[in-house]
Structure 1
Amino acid sequence: MILYGLKTCDTCRKARKALNGVQFMDVREDGVPSEVLRVALDRFGDKLLNTRSTTWRDLPEAERGRAPLDLLAIHPTLMKRPLIVSGETMILGWDKAAQQAAEAL
């Protein structure tokens, strides 16, 4: 199981603590493989982009119109976090439903 997130993200810290033995990949330092992003975008659509983040608010309007995969490649912190990948299963975020799904893996 791989958790893509940020070291400084409180939600990612909670998920890491709850999921013993999860492999952590910092999106800022390690990035996210393009294939993982493509599959995640297919599954989650617009929910993959965190449009409530400071990074999003600081983007010029013209840049916001770029393709989501291009935006995530340039600004990996725009990805909603955490993204948990285990085989074919993907979980986005850390709400109650995500926690239950991750615990079932």
Structure 2
Amino acid sequence: MTTTMYGITTCDTIRKARVWLEGHDAAYHFHDYRAEGLDAKRLDDWVGKVGWEVLLNKASTTFRELSDKDKQGLDEKKAKALMLAKPTMIKRPVLEVGDRILVGFKPDVYQAAVGK
């Protein structure tokens, strides 16, 4: 089963999740979407599995810096366009474990999904 973590290297939550995975000998690939980008098909897949409301991090600095116009009237289409334009608005980390998607870092959830 392939495990891929999506996020940005400078994120504290990403660091904690990576330390947890490495401490539990869980093999994974890291995809920095600030450096490597994020394609619309993958985002569509995530939204289909967990919903755009779960993925869009309204507490992020990037989201808070948006104009009021951009924040108003959020729906799936608008949220996906914002997340593709500025992936740092996506809640971190996003962990793909096979065909499952985990959003955020909770050690107990990681243990159940990838624990050894």
Tell me whether the two structures share a fold, i.e. TM-score over 0.5: yes
User: 1:73 maps to what in 2?
Assistant: 84
Structure 1: state its 5+ residue gaps: none
Structure 2: state its 5+ residue gaps: none
CA–CA separation in structure 2 for the residues paired with 1:53 and 1:43: 22
Aligned residue runs from structure 1 range 2-81, under 5 A: 2-20=4-22, 21-45=27-51, 46-64=53-71, 65=73, 67-81=78-92
Cα shift at 1:4: 0.2
Please tell me the residue identity of whatever aligns with 1:62: K
Aligned CA-pair RMSD: 1.8
Structure having greater relative contact order (Cα 8 Å, sep ≥ 6)? 2
Find the structure with the greater CA-based Rg. 2
CA–CA separation in structure 2 for the residues paired with 1:31 and 1:87: 21
CA–CA separation in structure 1 for the residues paired with 2:113 and 2:97: 9
Cα shift at 1:97: 4.1
Structure 1 residue ranges, 4+ long, deviating more than 6 angstroms after superposition: none
**Identity of counterpart residues, as a percentage?**
35
